[in-house]
């Protein structure tokens, strides 16, 4: 029997309300690096942020009950996984930054490559190309999040650490190679114009629940100070 089929039959997808209008979708037992996707529910249409590999009937039904998916946006290639299957299932577009075009292993007419530093979507949602461990690395600004104070969905481009008053930034997580100072400054500068009080990272509980913009600023300052020694 095919291993992927066995995995699908034995696995489930926990669903958890991370915040009002923000549904976490994971896989149990964990698969790949254990990330979870986020379904952002918005009046103009739902956006799936990042992607997980498994898509089962229960998840399809739950997502459809919440209005389906208008589009999928991915922070960086590590989370591309089965994005095309998700897009086909929900008749959705996929927004990827053009700087990461080379990492797309399965072409699809549903993929729309965008350029420049930002892409405005509906309901004031904005994709921001801030770079990081991929040139096309992207975060999502959700101005209605955090009760109107704004939120960032970051994957692991801006990584929420154990002390959730801080975040960090890496070139390679498996090899513990840090980003250089120019990359840190680019991330800081590109998100500076946007207001946000919360950050939702790539894993369950990887959340900064308040004062998130200041957390990024003090984390970048601490990081730059540490790597300059």
Q: Enumerate the domain spans of the chain.
A: 12-227
Q: Which residue, 172, 144, 162, is CA-closest to 205?
A: 162
Q: What is the four-CA torsion angle of 58, 59, 60, 61, rounded to 10 degrees?
A: 50
Q: How many residues does the chain have?
A: 229
Burial of 63 (0-12, 13-18, 19+ CB in 10 A): buried
Does the structure show a pLDDT above 80 at 2?
Answer: no
d(Cα 229, Cα 225) in Å, to the nearest integer?
Answer: 7
Structure letter (DSSP) for residue 174: T
Q: Tokens for 213?
A: 């913009």
7: confidence class by pLDDT, cuts 50, 70, 90: very low
Q: Decide the pairing of beta strands 151-155 and 138-142.
A: antiparallel
pLDDT tens column, 109-165:
999 999 999 999 999 999 999 999 999 999 999 999 999 999 999 999 999 998 989
Does the structure show a pLDDT above 90 at 175?
Answer: no
Does the structure show a pLDDT above 60 at 20?
Answer: yes
Q: Which CATH number fits domain 12-227: 3.60.15.10, 3.40.50.11540, 2.40.50.140, 3.40.50.300?
A: 3.60.15.10
10: confidence class by pLDDT, cuts 50, 70, 90: low
108: confidence class by pLDDT, cuts 50, 70, 90: very high
Kindly report the average pLDDT of the chain as a whole number. 92
Strands in the chain per DSSP E: 15-19, 22-25, 37-40, 47-49, 71-73, 93-97, 111-114, 118-120, 126-129, 138-142, 151-155, 159-160, 167-168, 170-172, 177-178, 198-201, 207-208
């Amino acid at each position: 029997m095919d291993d992927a089929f066995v995995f699908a039959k034995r696995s489930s997808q926990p669903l958890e309300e991370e915040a009002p209008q923000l549904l976490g979708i994971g896989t149990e037992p964990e698969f790949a690096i254990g990330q979870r996707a986020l379904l952002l529910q918005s009046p103009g249409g739902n956006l799936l942020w990042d992607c997980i590999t498994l898509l089962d009937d229960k998840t399809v039904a739950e997502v459809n009950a919440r209005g389906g998916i208008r589009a999928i946006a991915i922070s960086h290639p590590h989370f591309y996984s089965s994005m095309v299957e998700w897009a086909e299932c929900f008749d959705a577009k996929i927004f990827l930054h053009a700087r990461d075009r080379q990492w797309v292993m399965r072409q699809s007419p549903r993929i729309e490559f965008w350029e420049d530093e930002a892409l405005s979507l509906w309901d004031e949602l904005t994709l921001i190309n801030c770079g990081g461990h991929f040139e096309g690395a992207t975060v999502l600004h959700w101005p209605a999040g955090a009760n109107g104070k704004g939120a960032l969905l970051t994957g692991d481009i801006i990584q929420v650490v154990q002390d959730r008053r801080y975040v960090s930034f890496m070139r390679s997580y498996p090899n513990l190679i840090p980003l250089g100072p120019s990359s840190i400054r680019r991330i800081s500068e590109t998100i500076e114009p946007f207001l946000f009080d919360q950050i939702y990272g790539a894993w369950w509980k990887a959340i900064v629940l308040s004062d998130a913009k200041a957390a990024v600023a003090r984390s970048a300052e601490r990081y730059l100070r540490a790597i300059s020694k």
